[in-house]
Homo-oligomer: A and B are copies of this chain.
Amino acid sequence: MHSRRDFLQKVSLGLGAAALSAFPAIANELTSNRQDKQLRVAIMGLGGYANIVAKGMQECKMAKIVGVISGTPSKIETWKKQYDIPDKNTYNYETVSQIKNNPDIDLVYVITPNSLHHKHVLQIAAAGKHVICEKPVADNAKQAREMIAACEKANVKFYIGYRLHFEPHTLELIRMREAGEFGKIMHVNNYAGFKIGDPTQWRLKKSLAGGGAMMDVGVYSLNGARYCTGEEPIWVTAQESKTDPVKFKEVDETITFQLGFPSGIIANCGCTYNFNHVEGLKLMGEKGWAEVNPAFGYGPIRGTTHKGKLEAPDVNHQANQMDGIADCILNNKPDPNVTGHEGLKDMVVIDAVYESIRKNGAKIFINK
Q: Does A361 contact B (CB under 8 A)?
A: yes
Q: Does A241 contact B (CB under 8 A)?
A: yes
Kindly specify which of A5-13, A98-106, A258-266, A337-345 makes contact with the partner chain.
A258-266
When chains A and B are docked, how far (Å) is the Cα of A98 from the Cα of B349? Answer: 61
A272:B187 contact, CB within 8 angstroms = yes
Q: Does A54 contact B (CB under 8 A)?
A: no
B237:A361 contact, CB within 8 angstroms = yes
Q: Does A356 contact B (CB under 8 A)?
A: yes
List chain B residues, Cβ under 8 A from A243: 184, 186, 263-265
List chain B residues, Cβ under 8 A from A362: 360-362
Q: Does A242 contact B (CB under 8 A)?
A: yes
When chains A and B are docked, how far (Å) is the Cα of A286 from the Cα of B277? Answer: 10
Q: Which of B237, B241, B276, B363 contacts A266 (CB 8 A)?
A: B241
B286:A275 contact, CB within 8 angstroms = yes
When chains A and B are docked, how far (Å) is the Cα of A260 from the Cα of B243? Answer: 11
List chain B residues, Cβ under 8 A from A263: 243
List chain B residues, Cβ under 8 A from A276: 284, 289
List chain B residues, Cβ under 8 A from A274: 186
List chain B residues, Cβ under 8 A from A272: 186-187
Q: Does A161 contact B (CB under 8 A)?
A: no
Q: Does A315 contact B (CB under 8 A)?
A: no
A270:B189 contact, CB within 8 angstroms = yes
Q: Which of B241, B260, B363 contacts A264 (CB 8 A)?
A: B241
Q: Does A191 contact B (CB under 8 A)?
A: yes
B254:A187 contact, CB within 8 angstroms = yes
10 contacts between A and B (CB under 8 A): A186-B254, A186-B274, A187-B272, A189-B191, A239-B258, A239-B363, A241-B260, A243-B263, A275-B284, A275-B285
